């Protein structure tokens, strides 16, 4: 096995976030499920946008946020995703390239527009997401460059993409190529509803060669259809080499080789916008693992990155995570 050029390549939805503040009543009036990610069609996204307050636009996408975080720690990163030849596609490409991530998936003209996610942030800092996937959901195997997969120590897959047959096939192909090249594959379950829709196939994928699994409490309990987090965690430990399970303010649990390590959250003065907490947790953890740090230190880097992201609006780091980690004594 040769040295990998990239620490991590991520395959995920290429999304631009449109972030605005709203009160609780707005969510009720518009029938939005607080705290959830809901997939919406072009009409619904247009009508919600017309009703919501002033917004800011910033690049997003779950795995893309993770990979931006990894680059901010100083990792070598690549991203695979589908954008249209439009203004939002240009914004997405600029922002991910500008942080040092290789992203050269071509822009597609004439199809659906670039994906966008309306993020409504309530005064408690909770985010409610309404995502119009646009062209990003049409990712297929032709976008997955085998050379980049083989040249990445870890291939990170975003569960949100796991809805259409072509994307599922692309994921399976990426797992096969990575495993044949001796690379590790990581997967985030992304969303409880997504797990519910594709439980059996997710389990197949996980058992077919996922080394590192990320999930939050809801997702992992949905995957194993149990109301006990402990049971779900044990089963995840049996199915993967390494599982990192997040539990919001209760911190996270990392399971590997019969070990179970609890990692507390890092302190935050005020939760301004919880968007991206899970994405950036994965960034810190993957960075730690890719650098060969132990699981506890990798978990602390994960908590640090999650804390940074929830202290401001937007799901991309507002400051250098490498500098933050140095200040915290986690990097030299």
Please, what is the Cα angle at 211 between 289 and 222, to 5 degrees?
110
Q: H or E stretch including 311?
A: none
- From the list 53-61, 138-146, 150-158, 300-308, the region that binds its own copies by CB under 8 A is 53-61
d(CA 111, CA 76): 31
Among residues 152, 186, 216, the alpha carbon closest in space to that of 12 is found at 186
269 near its own copies, rule: CB under 8 A: no
As to burial, measured by CB atoms within 10 angstroms (0-12 exposed, 13-18 middle, 19+ buried), residue 112 is middle
Asked whether 116 and 17 are in contact (CB, 8 A), the reply is yes
**Residues 2-41 close enough to bind its own copies by CB under 8 A:** 20
| Residues that contact its own copies, how many (by CB under 8 A) | 23
Dihedral of CA 261/266/271/275: which sign?
A: negative
91 near its own copies, rule: CB under 8 A: yes
- From the list 27-35, 51-59, 196-204, 208-216, the region that binds its own copies by CB under 8 A is 51-59
Q: H or E stretch including 212?
A: strand 212-216
**Distance between first and last Cα of the chain:** 28
Taking the complex as a whole, how short is the minimal distance between the CB of residue 6 and its own copies, in angstroms? Answer: 19
Q: By CB under 8 A, name the one of 37, 52, 117, 135 that touches its own copies.
A: 52
Taking the complex as a whole, how short is the minimal distance between the CB of residue 83 and its own copies, in angstroms? Answer: 13
Cβ closest to its own copies, residue 132 vs residue 171? 132
Taking the complex as a whole, how short is the minimal distance between the CB of residue 149 and its own copies, in angstroms? Answer: 25
Taking the complex as a whole, how short is the minimal distance between the CB of residue 160 and its own copies, in angstroms? Answer: 21
Taking the complex as a whole, how short is the minimal distance between the CB of residue 84 and its own copies, in angstroms? Answer: 11
Site of interaction with its own copies (CB under 8 A)? 20, 49-50, 52-59, 68, 86-88, 91, 94-96, 98-99, 314, 316
């Amino acid at each position: 096995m040769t040295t990998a050029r990239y620490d991590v390549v991520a395959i995920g939805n290429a999304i631009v976030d449109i972030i605005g503040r709203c009160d609780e009543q707005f969510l009720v009036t518009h029938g939005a499920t607080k705290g959830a990610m809901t997939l919406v069609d072009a009409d619904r996204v247009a009508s919600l946008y017309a009703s919501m307050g002033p917004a800011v636009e910033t690049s997003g996408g779950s795995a893309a946020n993770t990979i931006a975080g990894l680059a901010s720690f100083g990792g070598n990163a690549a991203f695979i995703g589908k954008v249209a030849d439009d203004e939002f596609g240009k914004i997405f490409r600029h922002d991910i390239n500008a942080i040092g991530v290789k992203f050269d998936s071509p822009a597609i003209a004439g199809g659906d527009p670039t994906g966008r996610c309306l993020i409504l942030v309530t005064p408690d800092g909770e985010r409610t997401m309404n995502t119009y996937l646009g062209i990003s959901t049409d990712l297929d195997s032709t976008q997955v460059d085998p050379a980049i997969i083989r040249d990445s120590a870890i291939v990170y897959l975003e569960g949100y993409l796991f809805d259409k047959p072509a994307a599922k096939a692309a994921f399976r192909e990426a797992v096969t190529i990575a495993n044949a090249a001796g690379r590790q594959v990581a997967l985030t379950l992304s969303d409880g509803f997504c797990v519910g829709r594709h439980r059996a196939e997710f389990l197949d994928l996980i058992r077919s060669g996922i080394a590192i699994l990320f999930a939050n409490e809801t997702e992992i309990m949905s995957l194993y259809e149990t109301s006990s987090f402990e049971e779900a965690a044990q089963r995840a430990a049996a199915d993967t080499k390494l599982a990192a399970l997040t539990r919001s303010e209760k911190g996270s649990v990392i399971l590997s080789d019969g070990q179970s390590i609890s990692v507390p959250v890092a302190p935050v003065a005020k939760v301004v916008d919880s968007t991206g907490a899970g994405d950036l947790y994965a960034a810190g953890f993957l960075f730690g693992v890719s650098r060969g740090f132990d699981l506890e230190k990798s978990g602390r880097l994960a908590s640090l990155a999650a804390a940074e992201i929830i202290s401001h609006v937007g799901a991309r780091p507002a400051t250098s995570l490498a500098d933050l980690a140095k200040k915290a004594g986690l990097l030299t």
